[in-house]
Amino acid sequence: MFVSDRAILHLDMDAFFASVEQARRPELRGKPVIVGGERGGRGVVSACSYEARVYGVHSALPIAQAERLCPQAEFLPVDMKAYLAVHRSLVGLLERYTDLVEVASIDEAFLDVTGSRRLFGPPRTIAHRIQEEVYTGHGVTCSIGIGPTKLLAKLAAGMHKPAGIGELTAADVHGRLRDLPVGDVCGIGPVTQERLAALGLTTVGMLQDVPFPLLAAAFGRGAHGLRQLALGRGLSPVRSERPLPKSIGRELTFDDDVSGGDPLRATLLSLTDSAVAGLRRKGLAARTVTLKVRFSTFHTVSRRRTLPRPVSAVRPLFGTVTALLDELDIGARQVRLVGVSVSGFTQNAFQLTLDDGWREVALGEAVDRVREKYGFRSLTLAGGASAYRRLEHDSPAQSFHPAAQAARDTTASSSGASPPAPVAAPAAHARRAV
């Protein structure tokens, strides 16, 4: 069932990171741009312009492969500070049209403009105005979908990229949507798509028509939700407050493979510090720590451990990371990538204990204030300074999903190897122009 008078917009920025770079450097307009690292790097593509996509380049593609596919492209490092600045400005723009703005990601947002029509006109007029303001203010384009539900609005935006405006109504569900691949529907991921394909269900129309008992036999309780998705019936309202993230974490690909030892532990220390900074920014504490390791063979493993209480300080979290590393018994194997993430959040990040834990939390908050003013590398943890140089231009603490890997849960005490206490970085890294 639809709430037919609802007017939901879905704003989807077009090749966001690459578009910001093209706007900052007009000589790159119309040329293939790949964001993620410099030529010869070992990272992956974070974003690419539409000019690069013509050559088969896409996000998550190794930089080396992208270079082979599109050697004439301009390769640029990630400048998350610049992208976040544009993102925040765009959110402020959207909030001038409605207070019901749900930020889905750094380059996507939903707006409920049902109550804004008297002030700003019909939804399509609002969409045109937003597009014009986005381009005039930042030199980037966006696609906007309109629909009575978030699902239909998102599908409409995807069908009119780049720089388009599209609308889907309840009447379109049994018409325009039927030939869409099921994978185009938000909420149907790759695993579910494979299971549907095994049943011969590859399009939205097939999912609409399949006898429900057959669907229920294959998906159990999830069958009802799948049917609702196929019918475009996403009735969840636009929420102006974002839900808690599933996880906060960082990953880093080494320029050259490393084995176990001090360089690896120093990198894990810097990653843990970065994840903890993300925790404190959101006012959270975490109970679960996950370590991810990818070897030179591209074999990836992860280990996860749950602490007895939520924490938001580096020392107990890094102690758990090193314990998980010891479990892996890396030995002489070469490591290509490592990642640290935290999850199992509570809202109150300040955990008053009978020991000195509160002192470390207070110290962390002081470090945050310095970093906010002078940059993340203005203060580093002893022993990890070299690794911080790799993190400065990367994205801030963000989600990754190690649950997809072979994770192993154990329950641990907060004891374990202790990292160095937070201290100022060596002078060469601590100086910052004021």
- Domain with residue 404: its CATH number is 3.30.1490.100
In a shared domain, residues 94 and 145: yes
Kindly state the average pLDDT of the residues 407-432. Answer: 34
User: What's the chain's average pLDDT?
Assistant: 82
pLDDT computed for residue 363 by the predictor: 62
In a shared domain, residues 139 and 188: no
Q: Which residues are catalytic?
A: 108
Kindly state the average pLDDT of the residues 22-39. Answer: 95
Beta partners for 338? 252, 293
Residue 236 lies in a domain: no
pLDDT computed for residue 1 by the predictor: 47
In a shared domain, residues 90 and 136: yes
Asked if residue 416 has pLDDT above 60, the reply is no
Q: How far is CA 314 from the centre of its chain?
A: 22
Kindly state the average pLDDT of the residues 202-208. Answer: 95
pLDDT computed for residue 397 by the predictor: 39
User: For the domain that residue 70 is a member of, what is the CATH number?
Assistant: 3.30.70.270
Beta partners for 305? 289, 410
Instruction: Read off the pLDDT of residues 306-358 as tens digits, 9 standing for 90 and up.
Output: 999 888 888 889 999 999 999 998 888 999 999 999 999 886 544 434 344 54
130 compared with 170, residue with greater pLDDT: 130
Kindly state the average pLDDT of the residues 141-167. Answer: 95
Asked if residue 16 has pLDDT above 50, the reply is yes
In a shared domain, residues 200 and 317: no
In a shared domain, residues 10 and 145: yes
397: tokens are 């603490």
In a shared domain, residues 132 and 256: no
Kindly state the average pLDDT of the residues 179-187. Answer: 89
- The residue with tokens 């959270």 is 284
- The residue with tokens 């974490």 is 249
Final residue belonging to a domain, choices 147, 170, 193: 170
pLDDT computed for residue 42 by the predictor: 81
pLDDT grade for 246, boundaries at 50, 70 and 90: confident
Kindly state the average pLDDT of the residues 147-166. Answer: 94
> Shortest CA distance to 157 belongs to which of 172, 147, 170, 171?
147
Kindly state the average pLDDT of the residues 383-406. Answer: 41
Asked if residue 216 has pLDDT above 90, the reply is yes
In a shared domain, residues 260 and 393: yes
pLDDT computed for residue 244 by the predictor: 74
Residue 31 lies in a domain: yes
pLDDT computed for residue 398 by the predictor: 38
80 compared with 261, residue with greater pLDDT: 80
User: How are beta strands 409-411 and 285-295 bridged, if at all?
Assistant: unpaired
Residue 241 lies in a domain: no
Residue 262 lies in a domain: yes
pLDDT computed for residue 422 by the predictor: 38
pLDDT computed for residue 395 by the predictor: 40
- The residue with tokens 């004891």 is 415
In a shared domain, residues 336 and 370: yes
In a shared domain, residues 315 and 283: yes
Kindly state the average pLDDT of the residues 7-32. Answer: 97
In a shared domain, residues 41 and 116: yes
Instruction: Read off the pLDDT of residues 272-312 as tens digits, 9 standing for 90 and up.
Output: 988 988 887 777 889 999 999 999 999 999 999 999 988 88
pLDDT computed for residue 340 by the predictor: 95
What whole-number distance in Å separates Cα of residue 73 and Cα of residue 219?
44
Measured from the Cβ of residue 232, the count of other Cβ atoms closer than 10 Å reads 24
Residue 399 lies in a domain: yes
Whether 66 and 57 have beta carbons less than 8 Å apart is answered as yes
pLDDT computed for residue 407 by the predictor: 33
What is the residue range of 376's domain? 248-430
In a shared domain, residues 285 and 409: yes
pLDDT computed for residue 375 by the predictor: 58
pLDDT grade for 14, boundaries at 50, 70 and 90: very high
Q: Which of 70-74, 170-174, 257-261, 346-350 has the lowest mean pLDDT?
A: 346-350
pLDDT computed for residue 79 by the predictor: 94
Find all residues with CB under 8 Å of 405, minimum gap 6, and list them: 292, 300, 301, 302
User: For the domain that residue 192 is a member of, what is the CATH number?
Assistant: 1.10.150.20
Instruction: Read off the pLDDT of residues 185-195 as tens digits, 9 standing for 90 and up.
Output: 888 888 899 99
pLDDT computed for residue 259 by the predictor: 83
pLDDT computed for residue 346 by the predictor: 83
What whole-number distance in Å separates Cα of residue 200 and Cα of residue 195?
9
Asked if residue 70 has pLDDT above 60, the reply is yes
Residue 175 lies in a domain: no
In a shared domain, residues 95 and 164: yes
Number of domains, the chain: 3
pLDDT computed for residue 330 by the predictor: 86
Residue 242 lies in a domain: no
Asked if residue 424 has pLDDT above 90, the reply is no
> Shortest CA distance to 147 belongs to which of 176, 120, 119?
176
Residue 237 lies in a domain: no
